[in-house]
């Protein structure tokens, strides 16, 4: 599989090698050793989540407070979606930088999102299903949401939307980036780097 860092530092695009024949195809989606070697991040999934969405559903921008933080390995297992990762780590040289990936179940491309980064997507097909491998289990009260249409972020949702976005009430009412920063909802870049270094020592 190919693993390449995205425009957002500590986010990686994972492209599998599909083995196809008349029956269909097979591919390896996630390999612990390969991801650790190529990224320097230790990622051991402790929870798996699935989300099914209608066309034009927009979910995000979401993250998990640090601590505990949460890294994610995101794959589309049915249909297609436009995935967005944005660096919201306060003090990061790449703060506010985003990158997009087309995740199509037929291709198996995945995105690794490190702790401290935020994530969202828009469904490109009806009944699109996304899979999240998560480094931590759900801890109530540690999730945060940012208003996905905040002009300060200027995220390119229009690349995937063909009509009005279908949003949850929570996402519609989410704070702006500036409000989230004022409330202390964003991770500190130095704390994230310390976490990444600790993970590498534990893996050595």
Catalytic residues: 62, 132
Other residues' Cβ atoms within 10 Å of the Cβ of residue 119: 23
Indicate the helix (H) or strand (E) that contains 25: strand 24-26
As a whole number of angstroms, the distance between CA 57 and CA 198 comes to 37
The H or E element that residue 197 is part of is helix 189-203
Cβ(189)–Cβ(197) under 8 Å?
A: no
Q: Helix (H, G, I), strand (E, B), or coil: what is residue 48?
A: strand
* The pairing of beta strand 80-87 with beta strand 117-123: antiparallel
- Rounded distance, CA 40 to CA 62, Å? 23
φ, ψ for residue 26 (rounded to 5)?
A: -140, 145
- Report the C-alpha gap between 79 and 157 in whole angstroms: 18
How far apart CA 200 and CA 47 sit, in angstroms, is 21
């Amino acid at each position: 599989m190919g693993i390449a860092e995205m425009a957002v530092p500590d986010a990686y695009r994972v492209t599998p090698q599909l083995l196809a024949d008349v029956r269909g195809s097979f591919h390896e989606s996630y390999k612990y050793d390969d991801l650790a070697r190529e990224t320097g991040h230790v990622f051991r999934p402790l929870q798996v989540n699935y989300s099914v969405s209608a066309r034009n559903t927009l979910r995000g921008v979401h993250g998990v407070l640090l601590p505990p933080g949460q890294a994610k390995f995101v794959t589309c297992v049915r249909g297609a979606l436009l995935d967005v990762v944005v660096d919201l780590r306060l003090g990061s040289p790449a703060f506010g930088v985003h990158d997009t990936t087309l995740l199509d179940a037929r291709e198996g491309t995945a995105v690794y999102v490190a702790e401290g980064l935020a994530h969202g997507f828009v469904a490109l097909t009806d009944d699109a299903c996304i899979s999240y491998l998560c480094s931590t289990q759900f801890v109530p009260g540690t999730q945060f949401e940012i208003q996905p249409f905040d002009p300060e972020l200027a995220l390119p949702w229009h690349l995937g939307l063909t009509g009005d976005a279908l949003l949850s009430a929570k996402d519609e009412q989410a704070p702006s980036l500036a409000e989230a920063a004022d409330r202390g909802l964003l991770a500190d870049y130095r704390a994230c780097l310390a976490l990444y270094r600790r993970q590498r020592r534990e893996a050595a």
